Amino acid sequence: MTGPTRGFGRVAVERILAGSPKAHLVLLARGTAGAELATDLSRKGHSVTSIPVDLLSLGSVRAAADEVARRLDRGELPPLRMLVSNAGVLFTNDVTESPDGFEATFAVNVLANHVLIRRLQDRFEAASRIVITVSDAHFGDFRHNKGMMPGPSWKDSALLARISAFPKAETVTAGGIANSTSKLAAIYLIHEYARRLPSGVDIVGYNPGFVPGTGLTRGAGAAVRLAMRTIMPLMTLTSLASTQQEAGRHFADVVLGLTPAPSGSYVDRTREARSSWMSSARSTSSPTPAGNGPSAADGTRIPTGNRGDKEQGSMIRHNDSGRQSRT
């Protein structure tokens, strides 16, 4: 699991372990936070280990995935049946660069997920589930964004992967567009992997809705951080926002398979739902031609779209093996 150390991911960790007490959870986290959390959870009797990773660096992601694979090979971990990709970032600009020269939001929210799945895809044993935390910011409309987050602006993934993909790249607005667009890209990634993963290995997206009080806006200006601590939590008294406890519980339900969700689907908090028109409309167009997308550091192309039979919003698709999935 990535992103287990804070926010609603931290809540989900406890619930996943409570719901699956025999699971061995591998925490993929940066710095010492993962090791500290692993110690804490082990003391409570859970089977937990930590592998350090900085998701900004694809080399670090590859090393962490390879370490998981090594431990699986040595029998130090039980068979791999879950990947929980929760980590995500929101920057206040579109000019923050990862060590590999990618735009930082895209690097963490999209490329790290891709490299993790790609490196581990042959290790999953049926029945497995991969869950990626996405966002209803990918809709880009007031109903979903409450006017707080600009909508996505899709471009060729080779452009999106680099800084300054959006106008006025130094601004908070450009950082917001980068976030929304990265979550749309993560949904495309889910669609593509739903097509490619073997039968019995499912992949779904989870939207927590608006969850104030997490660390996501920690890089924002003082006014936004103050509002997040004081005013925004009041929204959790309405249906407009979820508490971290609620979002963590819903998330764990998706991970544990308690929320029905076929491969390729989008879960809006507690139930499978249609993702945005754009997220499926894009799926109807040709993917970026081979050689045109950004190259992940492991030599793989970044999936950019989906081919298949479509139905607007929620799509029933048949992958190459004839397996049906809904997106």
Ligand X SMILES: NC(=O)c1ccc[n+]([C@@H]2O[C@H](COP(=O)([O-])OP(=O)(O)OC[C@H]3O[C@@H](n4cnc5c(N)ncnc54)[C@H](OP(=O)(O)O)[C@@H]3O)[C@@H](O)[C@H]2O)c1
Residues near ligand X (CB under 6 A) are 2-3, 5-9, 29-31, 33, 53-56, 86-89, 108, 133, 135, 208, 210-211, 214-216
Say if residues 146 and 89 touch (Cβ distance below 8 Å). Answer: no
Q: Nearer to ligand X by C-beta: 145 or 319? A: 145
Residue written as tokens 């998706």? 254
CB of 307 to ligand X, least distance (A): 27
Beta strands at 24-29 and 201-207: parallel, antiparallel or unpaired: unpaired
Rounded to whole angstroms, the Cα distance separating 98 from 92 reads: 15
- Least Cβ distance, residue 132 to ligand X (angstroms): 8
Nearest to 61 by CA among 24, 94, 100: 100
CA distance 42 to 33: 14
Give the whole-angstrom CA distance, residue 283 versus residue 101.
27
Residue 127 preceded by cis peptide, ω within 30: yes
Of the pair 205, 264, the CB lying nearest ligand X is at 205
CA distance 88 to 185: 13
Is the Cβ of residue 133 or residue 279 nearer to ligand X in the bound state? 133
Three-state secondary structure call for residue 241? coil
Residue among 202 and 268 whose Cβ is closer to ligand X? 268
Q: Cβ of residue 181: shortest distance to ligand X, in angstroms?
A: 12
Cβ 247 to ligand X, closest distance in Å? 7
Whichever of 158 and 220 has its CB closer to ligand X, that residue is 220
Give the nearer residue to ligand X in terms of CB position, either 175 or 308.
Answer: 175
> What is the residue whose two structure tokens read 């097509």?
195
Quote the least distance from Cβ 117 to ligand X, whole Å: 15
> Closest approach of Cβ 186 to ligand X, in Å?
8
Among 207, 179, 192, CA closest to 269: 207
Structure tokens that stand for 195 in this block: 């097509």
Name the residue among 152, 167, 175 with its Cα closest to residue 96: 175
Give the shortest CB-302-to-ligand X separation in angstroms.
Answer: 18
Query: Between helices 7-19 and 244-255, what is the axis angle to 10°?
Result: 50
Residue placing its CB nearer to ligand X in the complex, 8 or 106: 8
